[in-house]
Structures are given as C-alpha cells and as structure tokens.
Amino acid sequence: EVEDDEDVRLCEERLEREDGVPHDRDFDKDPVLVGGAAKDWNKCSVGCEFGFSATKTPDATFGIAPDPTVESILRSMESSQYYSENNIAVARGRGYKIVMTTSLSSDVPVGYFSWAEYDIMAPVPPKTKEALAAAFISNCGARNFRLQALEMLENLDVKIDSYGSCHRNHDGKVDKVETLKRYKFSLAFENSNEEDYVTEKFFQSLVTGAIPVVIGAPNIQEFSPGEGAILHIKELDDVPSIAKTMKHIASNQEAFNQSLRWKYDGPSDSFKALIDMAAVGPINYGCVGVYSAC
C-alpha cells in the first residue's frame, strides 16, 4: 500500500511538471486581458481582466480576432445542430483557439450544471398532481422526435400537463420549478439529441424530485445522479415501454422512492465530479486557457 501511495505521488508530480507552463510574465502585474465587455474577474486563479485598453493589445477576444497574435474564443451554450459553428471541428476550422461550449470535449466546457444555481439535493416535495408528468415545450419545430413522443405518451394514457406553447393544455404563466415540484415526472425533452447537450430542463427536474423522462443527449446516463434516477427515450420505439414504467412507478411508492434514492443517500461520485466542474467557473477556466497560450 505504501508503494502504491508513492507511485501515485510520483505520477502526480510528473503530471504537474508536464502540465506546467513556464512564464516570465507576472500575471498579477500584467493580467490576462480578454477583449469584451468590461469586467474584472477577481476570483480567477490567474490575473485576468475583461474589457478594452487603448494601450494594450488583448491576449484573447470573444469572436474571431482580426489580429492573428490575439487568441480567438468561441463561447456558446447552444446546440451545434442549430448553430453549426459550435461544433468543435468547425470552430477550429474557422480559427478559434479556445472553444467554450456544452460539449465536455471543449477546451472549456460551459455546461448548464452548477451546485450554486440548482439546489439539486433539495428534499422531495409532496406529489399532489393527478397527472403523471409536466411538460414545458415551446419550440414546436425541434430537430428531434419530442412532440411525436409526447403525443404517443398521451395516446398510451399517460396524462401530461403541458404548460409550453406546444400541446398546451394548462396556463403557461406559472413558475416552472414550483410547478414541477407537484409532479412525479418531468418531460425533460431537449430540442436536439446532441452529446453533452443537457440543459436546465434536466437539472430543474432533479431539483424538484420529478423523475426526468429524457429525450436529448445520447449519453444522458453519464449525467444521472444515481441508478434508475432517469428514464431515457432513445427512439420512438422506446415510448411504450417508458409509458409502462412511468405508470408502474407512479402507482408504486416503493418504486418511486427507489428512483429518488440518490436524494437520500447522495448522488454518485461521477455525478458529483461532473457538477464540481462548475465550481471553478468557465470564465476562470477560460482565463487559465488564455494564460496557457500566452
């Protein structure tokens, strides 16, 4: 065991050496300057400022920089299925040095997840609604099959209260999170099925103790807080079995409690590691990325 600990220490030291970026520049006195809206980022681990300077060329800027010596940064939380430039390969081809998107393969992932923004471990509130699920869908032209799936669920006698513009059967002027608290399920149907594209639809469901029924990221299970915590509709052929599972869980308190076991026992280590990524903050990571390129 002592030898194992020593191996780990030596490995960590080697990685730190290889990752180290030597600099003659004092970043406290000469901080990284990112061209953009004026903003000081005081909590960044390296000196970093946002804004414009008449006397200093920025180290980086959001958008394509006209000066080839300035690093170009792409930052977006939209799906690349709607905005092709958000695809990492496309962004690289256009000249972006630092890519900040929802993809976990980005230089700086900018996910929707955060311990600070979402009270993920909030207690499970009483489920008082007769309907099994709530839906908030307003883009009726999504580039996937989410509306067809919603219709199929309804045809299979899964009662759904729809508050969005699509298939609305309830007044949409409600607080989404407060409303979701009263349902056993939430239809976390994204507007595109893209890896790592997981939005507030999913995380708000977790907050409210409404089991997410997901159409979206093919790797959504990697975002699950625990075993059996989510239901994933990968294709329309899955809808009948998902409807059956929803009815079973809704009528069986033990099964419902098991799906939310993570709320009581704590989420998986992988889920905690995922959400912890947001603790540093994407802007901080972005500054470090620019720092490494300086």
CATH, residue 213:
3.40.50.11660
Pairing of strands 32-35, 48-51: parallel
Could you read off the pLDDT of 99-133 as tens digits, one per residue?
999 999 998 898 999 898 999 999 999 999 999 99
Flag whether 214 is in a domain. yes
* Alpha carbon distance 230, 156 (integer Å): 20
Could you read off the pLDDT of 242-276 as tens digits, one per residue?
999 999 999 999 999 999 999 999 999 999 999 99
Looking at the fold, whether 260 and 284 belong to one and the same domain comes out as: no
Instruction: Indicate if the pLDDT at residue 184 is higher than 60.
Output: yes
Instruction: Residue 102: name the closest of 217, 191, 188 by CA.
Output: 217
DSSP SS3 for 149: helix
* Alpha carbon distance 243, 99 (integer Å): 39
* Mean pLDDT of the region 182-188: 99
Looking at the fold, whether 39 and 104 belong to one and the same domain comes out as: yes
Instruction: Indicate if the pLDDT at residue 42 is higher than 60.
Output: no
* Total Cβ atoms within 10 A of residue 164: 18
pLDDT band at 27 (very low <50, low <70, confident <90, very high): low
Please report the pLDDT score of residue 61 as a whole number: 86
Percent of the chain with pLDDT over 90: 66
Looking at the fold, whether 149 and 237 belong to one and the same domain comes out as: yes
Instruction: Indicate if the pLDDT at residue 66 is higher than 50.
Output: yes
Instruction: Residue 182: name the closest of 197, 168, 170, 200 by CA.
Output: 170
Looking at the fold, whether 96 and 195 belong to one and the same domain comes out as: no
Higher pLDDT, 33 or 15: 33
Looking at the fold, whether 42 and 137 belong to one and the same domain comes out as: no
* Alpha carbon distance 116, 106 (integer Å): 22
Looking at the fold, whether 247 and 160 belong to one and the same domain comes out as: yes
Flag whether 260 is in a domain. yes
Choice among 10-19, 26-35, 53-62, 220-229 with the minimum mean pLDDT = 10-19
Q: Average pLDDT over the chain, rounded to whole? A: 86
Looking at the fold, whether 145 and 233 belong to one and the same domain comes out as: yes
* Alpha carbon distance 267, 230 (integer Å): 13
Find the domain containing 193 and state its range: 133-266
* Alpha carbon distance 205, 183 (integer Å): 10
Flag whether 190 is in a domain. yes
pLDDT band at 291 (very low <50, low <70, confident <90, very high): very low
Looking at the fold, whether 223 and 283 belong to one and the same domain comes out as: no
Looking at the fold, whether 29 and 71 belong to one and the same domain comes out as: yes
Instruction: Indicate if the pLDDT at residue 283 is higher than 90.
Output: no
Percent of the chain with pLDDT over 70: 78
Looking at the fold, whether 241 and 145 belong to one and the same domain comes out as: yes
Flag whether 126 is in a domain. no
Flag whether 225 is in a domain. yes
Instruction: Indicate if the pLDDT at residue 181 is higher than 70.
Output: yes
Higher pLDDT, 66 or 80: 80
pLDDT band at 40 (very low <50, low <70, confident <90, very high): very low
* Alpha carbon distance 233, 216 (integer Å): 8
Instruction: Indicate if the pLDDT at residue 284 is higher than 60.
Output: no
Instruction: Indicate if the pLDDT at residue 32 is higher than 80.
Output: no
* Alpha carbon distance 50, 31 (integer Å): 10
- Is the Cα torsion angle 99, 103, 109, 113 positive or negative in sign? positive
Q: How many domains does the chain have?
A: 2
Q: List residues bridging with 215 in a β-sheet.
A: 189
In the numeric block, the tokens 């079995």 are attached to 241
Looking at the fold, whether 196 and 229 belong to one and the same domain comes out as: yes
Token pair recorded at residue 249: 């869980």
Could you read off the pLDDT of 133-180 as tens digits, one per residue?
999 999 999 999 999 999 999 999 999 999 999 999 999 999 999 999
Looking at the fold, whether 95 and 191 belong to one and the same domain comes out as: no
Flag whether 15 is in a domain. no
Flag whether 78 is in a domain. yes
* Alpha carbon distance 45, 31 (integer Å): 11
Flag whether 231 is in a domain. yes
Residue 122 contacts by C-beta under 8 Å, 6 or more apart in sequence? 207, 208, 209
Instruction: Indicate if the pLDDT at residue 3 is higher than 60.
Output: no
Could you read off the pLDDT of 203-222 as tens digits, one per residue?
999 999 999 999 999 999 99
